[in-house]
Amino acid sequence: MTVVLVADDDADIRDLVAFKLEQAGFEVIAVEDGQTALEQARSRQPTLAVLDVSMPGLSGIDVCRMLRADPATAGILIIMLTARVQEQDVEGGFSAGADDYVTKPFSPRELVSRIQALLSRARA
């Protein structure tokens, strides 16, 4: 089963994403901050990580950059969740190495299809 790491400090959104992803057949590791996300990514080696950009402490962008910098986690696919739509935030996410980004409010259905698209692109 494909393992997906979900990091968001908002419990409702974290549960929403986890529920939808489990329904879609993924195994989900849900965490509430960047530091835990980093630890879980290193120990559990998920195929893909959904990272909220604005988390206290380590932001999603920080986590993304650190995962990319470490050869052991550099191959994890990363989708950023952002509540900002300013161009510089999107560019910031991509320059940190994200594969895709989704802006809040997003449709859970759309998030799943973006994840599946990334996965099939990575497998191809």
Partner 1 sequence: MRPSRFGGRTCAASFLVGLAAGGALGALAVAQLASRMRADGLVKDAETDHLRRTEEQLLARLAALDAAKTDFMATVSHELRTPLTSISGYVELLRDSGPEELTDAQRRMLEVIARNARRLRELIEDILTLSRIEAGGFASEPGEVDLAEVIGRAVAAIGPAAEKASVGLHTDVGGPLLLQADGVQLDRVLANLLGNAVKFTPAEGTVTIRGEQAEGHTVLVVSDTGMGIPPEEQNALFVRFFRATNAIRQAIPGTGLGLAICRKIVDNHGGSIEVESTENVGTTITVRLPHR
User: Which residues contribute to the site for partner 1 (CB under 8 A)?
Assistant: 10, 12-13, 16, 19-20, 83-87, 103-109
Please, which residue, 97 or 108, has the CB nearer to partner 1?
108
Minimum distance from CB of 93 to partner 1 (Å)?
Answer: 15
Please, which residue, 10 or 32, has the CB nearer to partner 1?
10
Minimum distance from CB of 96 to partner 1 (Å)?
Answer: 19
Please, which residue, 71 or 87, has the CB nearer to partner 1?
87
Minimum distance from CB of 89 to partner 1 (Å)?
Answer: 10
Question: Where do we find the tokens 């990319």?
Answer: 68
